Structures are given as C-alpha cells and as structure tokens.
Amino acid sequence: MSHVIIRGIPFATRLRAAQGGAKELLQRDRARAQKFLAGHSHHGPVPFVDAHRRRSSTGSASTIDVTDSGVTYTMQVGVGNPATQYTLLIDTGHSNTWIGASAPYNPTSTSSDTGNTINVSYGSGTMSGEEYTDTVTLGANLVIENQSIGVASSAQGFEGVDGILGVGPVDLTQGTVSNTPEVPTVTDNLYAQGTISSDSIGIFYQPSSTADVTNGEITFGGTDNTKYTGDVNFVPLTTTSPASNYWGINQSVSYGTGNTILQTTAGIVDTGTTLLLLATEAFQAYQKATGATQDQTTGLLTITQRQYNKLKSLYFNIGGVTYEFTPNAQIWPRALNSTLGGDEGQIYLIVSDLGSSFGTGLDFINGFGWLQRFYTVFDTANTQLGVATTAYTDAETN
C-alpha cells in the first residue's frame, strides 16, 4: 500500500491554554469528560453496513502533517473551489466537521445550502448554524466531494481556531443535523468515494518541547509503517457504555510493576483531551504512590526533582499487551511551563482527576499527552483500535 506524505501545508495555530493557564485547561478537559460520561448515542461506534462499505476500494492511504499547538492539534483544511483554508481542531471525540468560529465561510460554485440546521454541544463549547455540502480538501490527493459541513452562526469556546475536523464514530452525528439521521464523516466519504482503501485513520505525534511545530501526521485510509516500531496491536472497541459511544477500549493501569491503580475497565482514547485523566480512586492512588502535591496555581500535580528521579513508569495493559508510559512521558514539557501559567523549572504531572468515581463505564481518558508516545489507529470498518510503540515512546524530551 502506498503512502503519500503531504508536505508544506501552512499552519496557523495558537495556544488555547495561554490565557487561562492550566486551570482553564483542566476545566476544559473535565467539562469534556462530563459530556462523555453523559453519553450521546446508544448505538456505539458501529460502521455503516451499506454497500459502499462492503465494496472493494481502489484508493490507497494518504498522510497529512498536523501541528502541536501546545494543548491541541490542528490542521489546515480547504473548503470550496477555489478553497479557503481553515485551521481546524482534530477531534476523535466528535464527528461533525464545521467552520466559521473565526474566519467566515466563503461559498463558491461547489457550495450548496441544504436548508438544514446544525447544533453540536461540546464539553467546553457549543456551535450552531446551517449545514452546507461542499468540496473539502485535506491535501492534494485527499479531496472530498459533497461533504457535509456546518457553517457556524454562533460558536463559543473555540478561540484561535476556525472549527472542528470530526473524525469520531459516525453515530455521534445523530441528532446534530435537522432532517438527517446520520452525517457521513470525512473519513467515511473518503472511503465511499474510493479515495482511500480502508475506513480508518492512523495518528502519529512526536513529543515536542516547542509549541506550534509540525510534529505529527494523520494518515487517512491506512497506517504509515515508518512511524511506528513493531506491530500494531488491535483490540475490539469496548461494549461498556458510555465509553462504547466513542473510541472506547478496556485497559488496566499499574504504577510500577506491582501496584495496580486502575483495574481493567472501560474508557476512551481522545485527541481532544489534553491530559491523562483517571477515575478519582485511581488518581488518588497515583498521587499517593508518587508523593505529588497539588499545585495551587495550575491545579496540576507537581513533584520535586528528587521525586522525579524516583518516579516509576505507568504500565497500560490493553488487550493483553503492556505499554510502558515512562516517567518522562508523565510530565508536562518543562520548556512549555509558561503555557500553563506555571513556574520555570517546576515539574508538573499530566495525570489528573477525571472527576468521577470508578465504575461509571468511562474510567479513563487517554488524551494527547498519552497519544504523543504511541501510534494509534482508529479503525471504523472493523470497530477496533490499534496501538503501537514509536521511536519516541521512550523519549526524554519533556
């Protein structure tokens, strides 16, 4: 299978945590978690069973650079013909693609107003507006015809970006657009139109201590085997609700080799969450094991250099495979402490309290701090999620 790496795409991103610091970041993450816990769809992330999903596609796989803006990931997306470029957040926890939070929509000859309305609620914001179909360009060889997009007339909570590129399960679009049972995602349509050969995406991020740097790639329609080491191990998506409504898996978490802080349970993998969130009991066990204290300025756990020297790895058991999350992976990049409103040289941990007790059906969120250390494959076609190590799983960049 061929892989085309698309280079030279312009990026314009901002630090979403710069104004409110880590406390705002925590509020966003926890509000998003509460939205997940409330559930959205009773169907779960099942693929379409339409003929276009059963047919053999002639497409290949294509890879696009994405950028790390300190707390979120964004990419440039073209809408219309000629295309207007928009900076969109990549979100595996939602599935609608929309624009208009900042730069206005510029209709062209390919634009069509469907007459439908769109309303999407996020943990840290909302959008409402009209639905259009239009040509959407993710890259030179990734052009989608007649893609549903929302055009926001009102959007709150999306400062510094133009909207969302939704790559979550299609079921999450139910009830968001009037007169429409479900809205095919960009990945769905790339597959249906024969552009890609698999209804899946692969995500790679390289840990970085510099903000606003192009350090990741998203591959539509397959995987990029130059970005991971060993094999991609796939696990079926969890059947436990509400995690089953999203990219949910079952996992356990141990601190060191003998201290299980989270028994095997359901949770989600989510690009839109910044931190690694654990159910309250697991978080408390982690805090006790590390000796960390809560920093009043940032709201994050903080440890001394002496404690960091003794910090043990976290071990994630997913589908019988153990993945090591090193001490360095557990801390916020010290060179980016200013984005948290934190002190230079201080050591902040990225493990935080989910804000709910164990047993809710969603007991963890592996956010972008976790995603930076592993290659992940979101496989809609086979209702599974894949994880692999990368050359940066053991990086010491933080």
Mind telling me the catalytic residues?
A: 91, 270
Report the alpha-carbon distance of residue 334 to residue 43 in Å, rounded: 42
Contact by Cβ (8 Å): 381, 53: yes
- Considering only CA atoms, which of 150, 153, 147 is closest in space to residue 110? 147
Phi, psi of 110 (to 5 degrees): -90, 0
Distance spanning both ends of the chain, measured CA to CA:
34
Contact by Cβ (8 Å): 354, 303: no
Contact by Cβ (8 Å): 138, 90: no
228: which residues sit within 8 A by CB, 6+ positions away?
204, 375, 388, 389, 390
Q: Across the beta sheet with 293-294, what order do the strands follow?
A: 293-294, 301-303, 347-348
Report the alpha-carbon distance of residue 360 to residue 153 in Å, rounded: 35
Q: What count of other Cβ atoms lies within 10 Å of the Cβ of residue 115?
A: 10
Report the alpha-carbon distance of residue 180 to residue 171 in Å, rounded: 12
DSSP code of 52? H
